[in-house]
Amino acid sequence: MDVVGEFLGYDQDVAISHSFRRHHPGWVPVVTRIHRPTCARQAANLGVVQEHVWARVRDRLPHDPALSFVDRVPVPVCRCGRARRCSRFRGEAASGYDQGRTTVFSGVRSHLRACGPGMVAALPCAPANASDRELAPELVEGATGQVRGDRNDGHPLLREQLAPAGIACCAPYRKRQDAPDPVGSHRLRRLRWRSETVAAPCVERYHRKRLWARDAWHLTGRMLRQVLSHTLAVFLCLAHGHAPLHFAQLLA
């Protein structure tokens, strides 16, 4: 229910339970006899199982671990004007800058590492003001070869940190005037579309920027079922001969 509901765009537990109760009671008969809070607790408790299934499906997908793309998705908790009075994720949320909306937000940031043909390989979450170098070891765990990112990943200290693990961090320099190879930096910037095409369904279909959870426990469960739904959708697209990220063709 959670995986299918997230794929259909229902970003709340109550919407998922109501949808199955109204349209598909024969698939899950027990959904007509339990209350919404029970569904929400059971969905959050299944996080460990969802993580295990995600790892199994991820290993079965054909991908190249020697080439990865990293990106970040801001997840606002509340407006910055209400950050001091907001009790949600207190001590875990922080203020950060959203480059897409060119505004400051209060919340967390979802870090994403994707491998071709569009599979999400890692999805750690951290406060919005966390440094990219702090998340780098967890984000690139299991990766080899090249890891391509944006200008935030072009810091020389980050490259030195990943070099002992045999990982080459390929990213444009933070400042264009400091780039020793401006042409190469421009090419790397153009290759960023691959990570954008993977992050776009997470924001549009799975509503990653809408945070309905009130604590880290429910947030972790929701993120795991989203990434499981995304990975299963890629798996089904490849199994039916579709492009890996053409999710709409699965419903046609």
Mean pLDDT by 10-residue block, N- to C-terminus, for the chain (252 residues)? Answer: 89 86 86 81 86 91 82 82 79 81 84 84 86 77 78 69 77 64 63 67 81 81 90 91 88 74
pLDDT score for 233? 92
Residue at 87 is within a domain: yes
Cα 21 to Cα 32: distance, rounded to the nearest angstrom? 6
Residue with tokens 């990975």: 231
Burial class of residue 130 (count of CB atoms within 10 Å of its CB; 0-12, 13-18, 19+):
middle
- Annotate 50-71 with DSSP letters as a single string: HHHHHHHHHHHS---TTEEEEE
The secondary structure element, H or E, covering residue 182 is helix 182-190
Residue at 241 is within a domain: no
Residue at 1 is within a domain: no
Number of domains in the chain: 1
**Host domain of residue 75:** 63-213
List strand residue ranges (DSSP E) for the chain, in order: 67-78, 94-98, 103-115, 119-122, 125-127, 145-148, 167-170
CB-CB contact of 86 with 104 (8 Å): no
Residue at 222 is within a domain: no
Q: If DSSP states are collapsed to H, E and C, what string results for 195-225? A: HHHHHHHHHHCCCCCCCCCCCHHHHHHHHHH
pLDDT score for 155? 66
Residue at 104 is within a domain: yes
Cα 182 to Cα 173: distance, rounded to the nearest angstrom? 9
Residue at 67 is within a domain: yes
Cα 103 from chain centre: 21
Residue with tokens 């444009």: 172
pLDDT score for 245? 86
Residue at 244 is within a domain: no
Residues 6+ apart with CB under 8 A from 60: 235
pLDDT score for 116? 76
Task: Provide the CATH number for the domain around residue 73.
Answer: 3.30.420
Residues forming beta bridges with residue 154, ordered by sequence position: none
Strands 145-148 and 67-78: parallel
Residue at 94 is within a domain: yes
